[in-house]
């Protein structure tokens, strides 16, 4: 389990799901390489599994809902417990279940399958596995307020790149909030990293399908579907996004940067 070969096996369904999640394997690879005890299961049974370990998302046979590195109530008051229970436990679980179902349907389709069936299945794969990838990243880059590295100004490589790119963390926040508010209907605001250029930049993602550019990988995401904030914030998306900054775990963002 968890050898390089197993990690490579993961990339097969990801590639099938389209560009929207193809970056996930590369990103997880970077996080794993940088994580303490990279690539290995913890030897001590009592040691917690690192959140970004692949087995937290894929059990070897199928995609699974990741165990969060905090309790649903830990993001209060910025994200309320009821929203977390529904969002992680129900919405994200549905993407996992439907993504596994779409993969199974794909494997059962014959070469004679109707083109419209294939097109519909590709949409299912991209939407559900894209949702699984984006939510998994979103949970992993948040933490309980008061924990070291959570909230406050970015530390390490993330801090350097943000200052270099946006001038300051305050300027980044102002800009990133505008990106989040610019998403019409359902979607995400992302800060992405290009391993080729070493640049970071923002991206607005419609729904949760594959729209990532140039192989850039999200290192920070905020879900702006209404299900992410409506119970507590109703139509005040801006208030929700501004509260989100109190939850960013910069240690996780640096892990995703491979730094």
Q: How far is the CB of 27 from Mn ion (least distance, A)?
A: 18
Query: Strand 200-206 and strand 217-223: pairing?
Result: unpaired
Q: How far is the CB of 187 from Mn ion (least distance, A)?
A: 10
> Which lies closer to Mn ion via its Cβ, residue 124 or residue 223?
223
> Which lies closer to Mn ion via its Cβ, residue 223 or residue 249?
223
Q: How many CB atoms lie within 10 A of CB 28?
A: 26
- Binding-site residue total for Mn ion (CB under 5 A)? 2
Q: Cis (ω within 30 of 0) for the bond into 246?
A: no
Q: How far is the CB of 208 from Mn ion (least distance, A)?
A: 7
Minimal CB distance residue for Mn ion: 223
Beta strands in the chain (DSSP E): 187-193, 200-206, 217-223
Q: How far is the CB of 91 from Mn ion (least distance, A)?
A: 5
Phi, psi dihedrals of residue 248, rounded to the nearest 5°? -65, 125
Q: How far is the CB of 116 from Mn ion (least distance, A)?
A: 28
> Which lies closer to Mn ion via its Cβ, residue 201 or residue 225?
225
Phi, psi dihedrals of residue 155, rounded to the nearest 5°? -110, 165
DSSP track, 5-39: HHHHHHHHHHHHT-HHHHHHHHHHHHHHHHSTTTT
Q: How far is the CB of 82 from Mn ion (least distance, A)?
A: 14
Instruction: Give kind and range of the element (H or E) at residue 258.
Output: none
The answer for residues whose C-beta is within 8 angstroms of residue 68's C-beta and 6 or more apart is 51, 88, 139
Query: Helix, strand, coil % (nearest 5) of the chain?
Result: 55, 10, 35
The answer for residues whose C-beta is within 8 angstroms of residue 108's C-beta and 6 or more apart is none
Q: How far is the CB of 71 from Mn ion (least distance, A)?
A: 19
> Which lies closer to Mn ion via its Cβ, residue 161 or residue 252?
252
> Which lies closer to Mn ion via its Cβ, residue 225 or residue 245?
225
Residues 170-229 that bind Mn ion (CB under 5 A): 223, 225
> Which lies closer to Mn ion via its Cβ, residue 25 or residue 223?
223
> Which lies closer to Mn ion via its Cβ, residue 29 or residue 69?
69
Instruction: Give kind and range of the element (H or E) at residue 131.
Output: helix 115-140
* Site residues, Mn ion (CB under 5 A): 223, 225
């Amino acid at each position: 389990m968890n050898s390089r070969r197993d990690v490579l096996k993961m990339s097969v369904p990801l590639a099938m799901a389209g560009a929207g999640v193809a970056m996930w394997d590369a990103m997880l690879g970077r996080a794993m390489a940088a994580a303490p005890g990279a690539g290995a299961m913890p030897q001590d049974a009592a040691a917690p599994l690192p959140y970004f370990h692949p087995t937290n998302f894929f059990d070897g046979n199928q995609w699974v809902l990741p165990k969060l590195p905090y309790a649903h109530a830990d993001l209060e008051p910025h994200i309320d417990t009821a929203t977390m229970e529904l969002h992680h436990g129900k919405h994200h679980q549905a993407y996992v279940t439907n993504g596994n179902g779409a993969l199974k349907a794909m494997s059962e389709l014959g070469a004679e399958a109707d083109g419209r069936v294939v097109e519909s299945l590709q949409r299912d794969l991209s939407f559900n596995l894209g949702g699984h990838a984006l939510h998994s990243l979103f949970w992993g880059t948040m933490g309980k307020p008061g924990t070291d590295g959570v909230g406050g100004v970015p530390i390490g490589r993330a801090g350097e790149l943000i200052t270099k790119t946006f001038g300051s963390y305050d300027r980044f926040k102002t800009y990133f909030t505008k990106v989040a508010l610019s998403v019409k209907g359902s979607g995400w605001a992302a800060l992405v990293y290009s391993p080729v250029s070493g640049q970071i930049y923002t991206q607005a993602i419609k729904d949760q399908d594959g729209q990532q550019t140039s192989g850039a990988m999200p290192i920070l995401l905020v879900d702006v579907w209404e299900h992410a904030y409506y119970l507590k914030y109703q139509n005040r998306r801006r208030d929700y996004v501004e509260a989100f900054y109190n939850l960013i775990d910069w240690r996780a963002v640096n892990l995703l940067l491979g730094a």
